[in-house]
Amino acid sequence: MRVTVVGSGYVGTTLAACLADAGHDVTAIDIDPDVVAAINDGHAAIHEPGLDELLAEHAGDRLRATTEYGGVPDADVTFLAIGTPSNEDGSIDLGALTAAAEMTGEALAEAGAADGSASGAPDDRHLVVVKSTITPPGVRAVREALDEGAGDAADRVELATNPEFLREGTAVDDFQHPDKLVFGAESEWATARLEALYEPLVAATDGDVPVIRTDPETAVMIKYANNAFLASKISLANDLGNICKRFGIDAYEVMDAVGLDDRIGARFLRSGVGWGGSCFPKDVDAIRSAAREAGYEPAMLDAAVAVNDGQPERMLELLDSHADVAGERVAVLGLAFKPGTDDIRNSRAIPVIEGLQARGAEVVGYDPVATANMRERFPDAAYADSAAGALEGATAALVVTDWDEFAALDDAFDAMAAPVVIDGRRIVERRDGLTYEGLTW
């Protein structure tokens, strides 16, 4: 099939590369010329394992990128994979997405006017699929923007939603091996088109991927429920972990046992400095805000956020109990919101660095791939080229991201001025000579 993917960020680039790899002919659109140039050069503007390899293989062949919307009408399906960030009040900002929807509609209208194909025949129909995470009321806003752009051609354009569940750091693998596919469509024609599009991917996984066929609003609610549940699961693990710490009990031993219950499951029970990233914080805020707008107070989700917001401060309080860091060098190990990515959006390292700077500490950050992004956020902090470099002469180290390489650190701690390690991710080994504090163990 011929596919257009509008928006070439973490989701759009992964989607475009994986659909090309599945045999489709893909055009990626982005307003950022650097992003477009990178894709056409066969590499991604972001760090995501496996993505560069796919782009190198398919760019210039089954995959191309452009800043122009002109080719949209030639596609069988157009995906919108545009960012949906938070407004100040936590509600979802649909501005960029509705702008892209309107531009997509305009491109379709121009083609309809040019070739006279606005006859209403079934083959003239164009499917626009929202990949972005949007609230149920947001579906109507996108539909209105699309219709506004399409004008007289609006009745030939159908909107569907197809939320994405990939995780950063494992985006390619997650996309190619999904736990489920969710198709939110208003007609059998649209559902069938989505099924045809995903058919090669499903076939490559032995065809055992559950497919949920539903309406567009239910589909996007499934996405919010999914993220709200996972974020709350971690917050509950953190709440219980904080209790464990008070009793001198290892929360990991407790939760490893709890996770053996099939009804609970072992994953997303790792307690520590909390959840960050571009999705959990903004999505939990967006659904809380939409709930309130609809007259419902989401007490559980409010509590999940409150627990999460408190974890970085708990880490800093543990540090305070061991060292006065005013004027001292303090290492922050890990700047990305999780391992495997250079994304620092809502990274727990941000409140940790802010807290250290408020205490007058001289912060030295280290991350294998996210340093450049954090330097833009905190240009006044220092950055080391290695974990060992960050630890050298430091009075304390705060571990914020569970990069594997931190587990292998050993002699590097000997170069610290005072070997105090506050571990927010249970990645560093306790060992002799180290004043080690786990956040919940």
Ligand X SMILES: O=c1ccn([C@@H]2O[C@H](COP(=O)(O)OP(=O)(O)O[C@H]3O[C@H](CO)[C@@H](O)[C@H](O)[C@H]3O)[C@@H](O)[C@H]2O)c(=O)[nH]1
Ligand Y SMILES: NC(=O)c1ccc[n+]([C@@H]2O[C@H](COP(=O)([O-])OP(=O)(O)OC[C@H]3O[C@@H](n4cnc5c(N)ncnc54)[C@H](O)[C@@H]3O)[C@@H](O)[C@H]2O)c1
Q: Where does this chain bind ligand Y (CB under 6 A)?
A: 6-12, 29-32, 35, 81-84, 96, 99-100, 103, 131-133, 164, 166, 168, 278-279
In whole angstroms, what is the distance from residue 37 CA to residue 22 CA?
A: 22
CA dist., res. 28 & res. 48, Å (int)? 17
Q: How far apart are CA 423 and CA 255, in angstroms?
A: 18
Q: How far is the CB of 344 from ligand X (least distance, A)?
A: 11
Does 269 appear as a known binding residue? yes
The answer to whether 270 contacts ligand X (rule: CB under 6 A) is yes
Per-residue mark of binding to ligand X, 184-213 (x: CB under 6 A): ------------------------------
Q: Which of 35, 145, 181, 279 binds ligand X (CB under 6 A)?
A: 279
Closest distance between ligand Y and the C-beta of residue 162, in Å? Answer: 11
Q: Which is nearer to ligand X, 103 or 231 (CB)?
A: 231
Using only the alpha carbons of the chain, give its radius of gyration.
24
CB distance 43 to 60 below 8 Å: no
Please indicate if the annotation marks 166 as binding a ligand.
yes
Catalytic residue among 279, 316, 318, 399: 279
Query: Is 334 near ligand X (CB under 6 A)?
Result: no
Please give the DSSP secondary-structure letter assigned to residue 411: G
User: Does the active-site annotation cover 244?
Assistant: no
The encoded tokens of residue 419 equal 């070997």
Within residues 150-179, the interface with ligand X by CB under 6 A covers 164-168
Sequence-ordered list of residues with C-beta below 8 angstroms from that of 63, at least 6 positions apart, any chain: 16, 17, 20, 26, 27, 28, 39, 55
Residue position matching structure tokens 């477009």: 36
Applying CB under 6 A, does 332 fall inside the site for ligand X? no
Tell me which of 131, 338, 359, 426 binds ligand X, using CB under 6 A: 338
Q: Which is nearer to ligand X, 291 or 417 (CB)?
A: 291
Cα→Cα distances 48→53, 55, 106, Å:
10, 11, 32
Per-residue buried b or exposed e for 333-369, using 16+ beta carbons within 10 Å of the residue's own CB = bbbbbbbbbbbbbbbbbbbbbebbeebebbbbbbbbe
Which residue sits closest to ligand Y, CB atoms considered? 9
Site track 58-87 with ligand X (rule: CB under 6 A), x = hit = ------------------------------
Q: Are 80 and 7 in contact (CB under 8 A)?
A: yes
Binding residues for NAD(+): 30, 84, 133, 168, 282, 345
Binding residues: 30, 84, 133, 165-168, 223, 268-272, 276, 282, 338, 345
Enzyme catalytic residues: 279
